[in-house]
Structure 1
Amino acid sequence: MKLTIGAADLESDILLREALTAYRTYKEADERGVPLEEVRKLGLLFESLIQGVIDSHFLVAGLPPSTIH
C-alpha cells in the first residue's frame, strides 16, 4: 500500500504529538527530581520519537531517512 502525502501528514502529526508529550513528561520528571535513570529513559524515549518524526518527513520528501536499520 502506497502512503499518500495526506496519510503521511496524519501519521507524522500523531508521531509529533507523541514526541511532544514525551518531551513534556521528560521535562516534568527532571523538574520534580525523579531519579536520574528514569529521567534518562524518558529522554531517550523523546529522542527516539522525534527521530521518527524527522525520518517520516524525509520519506515524504522522497529522501532516505537519517538512519537506516
Structure 2
Amino acid sequence: MDDLQEKMVLGEPLMQQAIEALRRYHQARDTLAPIEEVERLRVVAESLFQAISQYQLRALGGHSATCH
C-alpha cells in the first residue's frame, strides 16, 4: 500500500464518524427535535468534517491553519 493510500485509510474512521454525525443532525432536523439539539448536532458534524479536511490537507502535503 502506498503512503497516500495508507493515510487515507487511516482517516476512514474519522470520515465515518462525520457521516454518522451528519445523519444524526439531519434526522433531528427532520423530526423537529428541539432547536438546541439540532444546533448541537450541526456543530458536531461541522467540526468533524473540518477535522477531516485538515487531516486530508496534511496528508496531501499541504498546511492547515492550525494543528492541535
TM-score (normalizing by structure 1): 0.83
Alpha carbons 2:4, 2:60 under 8 Å: kept? no
Kindly report which structure 2 residues correspond to 1:14-29, keeping only aligned pairs within 5 A, or say none. 14-29=13-28
Amino acid aligned to 2:14: L
Gaps of 5+ in 2: none
What RMSD in Å do the two structures reach over aligned CA positions? 1.4
Partner of 2:34: 35
State, as a whole percentage, how many aligned pairs show the same letter: 26
- Structure 1 segments of 4+ aligned residues over 3 angstroms from their partners: 4-7
Q: 1:21, CA displacement in angstroms?
A: 0.3
Amino acid aligned to 2:32: G
Q: Give me the whole-angstrom Cα distance separating, in 2, the residues matched to 1:25 and 1:43.
A: 9
Amino acid aligned to 1:12: G
TM-score (normalizing by structure 2): 0.84
Gaps of 5+ in 1: none
